[in-house]
Amino acid sequence: MNERALISRVWNYATVLSQVGVSFTDYVGQISFLLFLKMDEERSNALGEPSLLPKEYRWDTLRSLAGESLDEHYREALAALSRERGIIGTIFLKAESKIKDPAQLQRLVNLIDTQSWLMLTFDVKGAIYEGLLERNASEVKSGAGQYFTPRPLIEAMVEVMDPDPTETVHDPAAGTGGFLLAAYEHMRGNPIVQDKNVALRLQREMLSGKDVVDEVVRLATMNLYLHGIGGDESPVQPGDSLLNDDGRRFDVILTNPPFGKRKSLLVLDEEGDLQSERQNYVRDDFVVRTSNNQLNFLQHIMTVMKRSAAVVLPDNVLFEAGAGEEIRRKLLKDFDFHTLLRLPTGIFYRPGVKANVLFFDRAPASERVATQELWVYDFRTNQRFTLRERPLKRSDLDDFVNAYGPKNRRHDRVESERFRRFTYDELEKRDKLNLDIFWLKDASATDPDSLPPPDEVAAEIVNSLELALEKFRSVALKLQATEGASESLP
């Protein structure tokens, strides 16, 4: 069964369960629990990996039951597994059955039992979860709320970063674990992993992540466990990476932080009226305080990285004035920001998202500017992708990967139509250090047939309005602060 057919099948059953009171969010949890139990059995049978689950709650105990007995045992299993320590406790944290009809539960168990999941050639849990979010966003109109990174892009980023099995890899916004899984597959292909000690350390110590959403932490933990990654504790922990610097440092950072602003909090003022209060992260290692989450993630990554980082970030990080300009100056001065990949629209679940991948290395402390040249690859202009009709494939990124070259041979790079070199002197002269650089002529500007779809145009307008509103808020806050200071003068 191919990926799209599998997602459709799972979605159809989600629709059936919704008619008997199982919400979409609850269904994602239930399918995750059941899939994990089935794949844990496959993992033990096919790979010889020992199961960490108690025998009385493994998949074969569900397969052999029906009706009320199945319902009671499933509820008992979830309650018991939620009390387990370590990685199993993380996976089943606060787990409980939301399926009130035993007949529907049995149909779901039978649906899962007839398919071999672990041997499929794609990341099953990531594909199902992301696919369900996509379908939910398009059919329920509620929006996915998160921008999952296309797997072809993840694979290309990992390939050019080329992490070594002896290096730590971290994702501060781990999602379902796509970057960590791809990094693991890449690193275990290195000949030094034939050493059992290196292989064991790679499995248990070299990969880590964090995510603020409990449900995706669960899915990431399941994914990594089923691929043999992790020890007694989950490599991915719940929490907000931006809250503080816990002192840990990582050789390689691979991530796609969530897009958008940090939400405002509603608070009561002294008169008892509701006021909107925008919360900024307060950290000594941050150059500036801002409500822009992407700029905050960029600052966080600058702190925790030891060697290199590859980060997916939206366009506003490249051109936003104020805090954005100040952070870009620090990035160019203290880090070797050597490569920028401009991504096309149509590859994320939300239409019109304009994003880039920033590749940069930590540089030794020096008075000299670390970034001597920035290479920009324009993979956006005159490129059209959609999630269904023309999805992004790994082969679409072959030219970029070849142009990027080995990490220790960047001096051999050659300019081409889509790949250009810009010196620091050229960058520094740009207004507000705007790094949103392009030079190719967009055919859509002259050819009506090449115009983006209406939903992409609408999304771009919304993004522009949100950015303008954020600037107005910033001006208003400064004016309020000025007035407050004037009133306090004698």
Q: Where in the chain is the domain with CATH 3.40.50.150?
A: 151-173+241-455
Name the residue type at position 240: D
pTM over the 0.75 mark: yes
Tell me how far apart the alpha carbons of residues 174 and 220 are, in angstroms, rounded to a whole number.
8
CB 98 within 8 A of CB 26: yes
Structure tokens given for 33 = 């629990």
For residue 193, give Cα distances in angstroms to 166, 200, 322, 441: 9, 9, 46, 46
Query: Which distant-in-sequence residues (6+ apart) come within 8 Å of 96 by Cβ?
Result: 75, 78, 79, 82
User: pLDDT per position in the chain (490 positions), as tens?
Assistant: 566 677 677 777 777 777 777 777 677 778 888 888 998 898 888 778 788 899 999 999 999 899 999 999 999 999 999 999 888 988 898 889 988 889 989 988 988 888 777 666 555 555 666 665 555 545 444 433 344 788 899 999 999 999 999 999 999 999 888 899 999 999 999 999 999 999 999 999 999 999 988 877 887 888 888 778 887 788 999 899 999 999 999 999 999 998 755 544 444 455 555 444 456 788 999 999 998 999 999 999 999 999 999 999 999 999 999 999 999 999 999 999 999 999 998 888 666 789 999 999 999 988 899 999 999 999 999 998 987 788 899 999 999 999 999 987 888 999 999 999 999 999 999 999 999 999 999 876 555 555 556 655 565 566 556 656 655 665 666 566 566 555 555 5
What are the residues facing 254 on neighbouring strands?
Answer: 310
CA distances from 258 to 172, 292, 311, 444, 452 (A): 10, 11, 11, 29, 24
Query: What is the location of CATH 1.20.1260.30 in the chain?
Result: 3-140
| Whole-number Cα distances in Å, 136 to 142, 150, 214, 256, 294 | 7, 18, 19, 21, 25
| Nearest alpha carbon to residue 95 among 131, 143, 57 | 57
Q: Are 417 and 423 in contact (CB under 8 A)?
A: no
Note the CATH number of domain 151-173+241-455. 3.40.50.150
Whole-angstrom Cα distance, residue 385 to residue 65? 46
- Residue 143 in contact with residue 135, Cβ under 8 Å? no
Q: Please check whether residue 40 is in contact with residue 226, taking contact to mean a CB–CB distance below 8 angstroms.
A: yes
Question: What stretch of H or E contains 391?
Answer: none
The CATH T-level fold of domain 3-140 is Ferritin (1.20.1260)
Burial 360-392 (b: 16+ CB within 10 A, else e): bbbeeeeeebbbebbbbbbbbbebebebeeeeb
